[in-house]
């Protein structure tokens, strides 16, 4: 099925990635570059992890996003770094994944550094939906800001939670395109810990009410995933494809029919409610690169 449609690409040579290191950013930029090279027919780059799960169908997402300005970027962000100034921006670290063949933890450098004055730091969620125009900018970097900040974030702890946010909010061409949301439902302990709480069946109601198209994080084979498959994604077979306008065949979704046909459901209504509110806030300048 994947080979017939031709919309799934596997990177057969994996990149060495160090947790909290800049190799995580390098890996994301690698994916962006490959997609720019492989296809001109996409509008947004959405990064997900293996602990993420969709709460809407592909058709719900396509239908809702087809009504949006293609230049919008969904990035949860703030310039109030708080404790991150002292714990992440000022310390110096080295990622062995940049020069070693085997995986290792980051190395701490004794000397520190002051906060930058040439640009304003921002931080936020590592999960985002980036417009094609912004992806082209961070890959090509025609005014050199993306490259300058990439070098700065090489020694920044947890750079995926700051690099893209700082680039877009310091680029006048793109700062007004930011929508302050990561399109995820994420639950945190109180007070928050380093990682979000693992979701379960008890989180179903707030997950659905959020209108978010994705949620994280889930444990592998959690029963909540089966409930999402059945009630939100309408999957009839475990491990099967999510039904959509393209589906055909006596057994549902065994034949590819019209890939341009979209069949949105209730998920599209929930998502549109969220997105309309967020975009309205962005247009008024609320919560935008502040």
Tokens of 177: 């395109």
Tokens of 220: 């592998």
What is the average per-residue pLDDT within 233-256? 84
Residue 2, pLDDT above cutoff 80: no
Look-up: residue for tokens 């060495």? 16
pLDDT classification of 133: cutoffs 50, 70, 90: very high
The confidence score (pLDDT) of residue 15 equals 85
Q: At what angle do helices 23-38 and 132-140 cross, to 10 degrees?
A: 120
Report how far residue 68's alpha carbon sits from residue 220's, in angstroms, rounded to the nearest whole number.
Answer: 33
Burial environment of residue 82 by CB neighbours within 10 A (0 to 12, 13 to 18, 19 or more)? exposed
What is the average per-residue pLDDT within 263-283? 96
Q: Domains of the chain: which residue ranges?
A: 1-42+76-176, 53-72+178-290
Which residues, including other chains, have CB under 8 Å from residue 75's CB and lie 6 or more apart? 124, 125, 128, 130, 164, 165, 168, 178, 179, 180, 182
256: helix, strand or coil? strand
Report whether 121 contacts 166 (CB < 8 A). Answer: yes
pLDDT classification of 1: cutoffs 50, 70, 90: confident
- Which helix H or strand E contains 216, and what residues bound it? strand 214-216
Other Cβ atoms less than 10 A from the Cβ of 201: the count is 13
Residue 251, pLDDT above cutoff 80: no
pLDDT classification of 8: cutoffs 50, 70, 90: confident
Tokens of 13: 């040579």
Residue 92 forms beta bridges with which residues?
109
The pTM score is 0.93
Q: What's the DSSP call for residue 81?
A: -
Tokens of 238: 């475990």
Report whether 274 contacts 179 (CB < 8 A). Answer: no
The confidence score (pLDDT) of residue 74 equals 98
- Which helix H or strand E contains 126, and what residues bound it? strand 123-131
List, for residues 184-208, the tens digit of each pLDDT value: 999 998 877 778 999 999 999 999 9
Look-up: residue for tokens 């590819």? 256
Residue 53 forms beta bridges with which residues?
215
Q: At what angle do helices 266-283 and 58-65 cross, to 10 degrees?
A: 30
Portion of the chain with pLDDT greater than 90, in percent: 72
List, for residues 12-52, the tens digit of each pLDDT value: 887 888 888 899 999 999 999 999 999 999 999 999 999 99
285: helix, strand or coil? coil
List, for residues 134-187, the tens digit of each pLDDT value: 999 999 999 999 999 999 999 999 999 999 999 999 999 999 999 999 999 999
Choose among 120, 127, 107, 139: nearest CA to 20.
107
List, for residues 67-110, the tens digit of each pLDDT value: 999 999 999 999 999 989 999 999 998 999 998 888 889 998 88
Higher pLDDT residue, 68 or 1? Answer: 68
Q: What's the DSSP call for residue 92?
A: E
260: helix, strand or coil? coil
């Amino acid at each position: 099925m994947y080979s017939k449609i031709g919309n799934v690409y596997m990177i057969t040579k994996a990149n060495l990635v160090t947790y909290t290191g800049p190799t995580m950013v390098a890996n994301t930029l690698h994916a962006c570059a490959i997609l720019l090279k492989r296809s001109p027919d996409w509008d947004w780059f959405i990064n997900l992890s293996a602990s993420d799960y969709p709460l809407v169908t592909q058709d719900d997402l396509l239908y809702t996003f087809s009504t949006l300005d293609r230049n919008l970027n969904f990035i949860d962000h703030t310039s109030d770094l708080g404790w991150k100034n002292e714990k992440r921006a000022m310390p110096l670290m080295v990622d062995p994944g940049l020069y070693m063949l085997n995986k290792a933890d980051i190395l701490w450098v004794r000397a520190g550094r002051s906060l930058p004055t040439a640009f304003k730091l921002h931080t936020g969620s590592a999960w985002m939906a980036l417009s094609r125009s912004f992806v082209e900018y961070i890959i090509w970097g025609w005014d050199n800001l993306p490259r300058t900040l990439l070098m700065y974030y090489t020694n920044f702890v947890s750079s995926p939670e700051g690099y893209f946010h700082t680039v877009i909010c310091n680029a006048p061409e793109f700062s007004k395109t930011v929508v302050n949301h990561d399109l995820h439902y994420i639950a945190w302990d109180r007070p928050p810990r380093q990682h979000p709480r693992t979701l379960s069946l008890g989180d179903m109601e707030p997950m659905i009410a959020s209108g978010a198209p994705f949620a994280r994080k889930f444990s592998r084979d959690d029963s909540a995933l089966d409930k999402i498959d059945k009630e939100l994604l309408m999957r009839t077979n475990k491990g099967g494809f999510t039904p959509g306008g393209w589906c055909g065949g006596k057994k549902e979704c065994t034949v590819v029919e019209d890939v341009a046909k979209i069949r949105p459901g209730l998920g599209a209504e929930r998502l549109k409610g969220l997105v309309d509110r967020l975009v309205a806030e962005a247009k008024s300048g609320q919560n935008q690169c502040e």
